[in-house]
A and B are shown apart, each in its own frame.
Chain A
Amino acid sequence: QVQLHESGPGLVRPSQTLSLTCTVSGVSISSGSYYWSWIRQSAEKGLEWIGRIYTSGSTTYNPSLKSRVTISTDTSKNQFSLKLTSVTAADTAVYYCARAILGALDCWGLGTLVTVSS
């Protein structure tokens, strides 16, 4: 059974870097034809795709966030991570990690609320 779990600080100061990790169990993130993705959800913007990393390590980011986003993997820990720099209150959201195959997000983490505030 595939499970994903997000972890990281729930509060980030404005202008700082948001860092989250997704721990995956039940499947290796370095095998198969999967995209490991980050999505966020806020009342203002709804569901917003942030970016993804393929099992090969190639990344694709939402153009609106591309200048601030980095997604990477740690295959030794079966984890992938999100870094979002220069955050503002507009980055406050529930952040989800998810697995995708052929464009469909078939397995999601529970989500973690990140608040940007001083």
Chain B
Amino acid sequence: QSVLTQPPSVSGAPGQRVTISCTGGSSNIGAGYDVQWYRQLPGTAPKLLIYGNTNRPSGVPDRFSGSKSDTSASLAITGLQADDEADYYCQSYDRSLSWVFGGGTTLTVL
């Protein structure tokens, strides 16, 4: 049972927009701590996609965007492409547990 809750899977057709939610609580996201998002392809390490709730590292396309509100955060992907298929994880800080991750969401491009 992860501290941050994500849907196990989402899907969308090429070109569509999908969102992945990350729900926390008053000791983590709701306490004002930043949320990060990572993408993981099979057999590889996670890669930072969004940091500080809304910021993209250099090289990450602007098709990826992050937002945060109250005790939750969201990752939006527009113009869905086949190679966006991956597992996506949110991560934040929790007062009692330090750094915590979501359980991950598998994105399928139909």
* Chain A residues within 8 Å of B, Cβ to Cβ: 37, 46-49, 52, 60-64, 96, 98, 102-106, 108-111
Chain B contacts for A60, CB-based, 8 A: 98
Interface check B91, CB cutoff 8 A: yes
Closest Cβ neighbor of B47 among chain A residues: A108
Chain B residues near A (Cβ < 8 Å): 2, 33-34, 36, 38, 44-48, 51-52, 57, 89, 91-93, 96-104
Contact sample, A vs B, 25 pairs, CB 8 Å cutoff: A46-B89, A46-B101, A46-B102, A46-B104, A47-B89, A47-B91, A49-B100, A49-B101, A52-B99, A62-B97, A64-B97, A96-B46, A98-B45, A103-B92, A103-B93, A103-B99, A104-B34, A104-B36, A104-B91, A105-B36, A106-B48, A106-B51, A106-B57, A108-B46, A108-B47
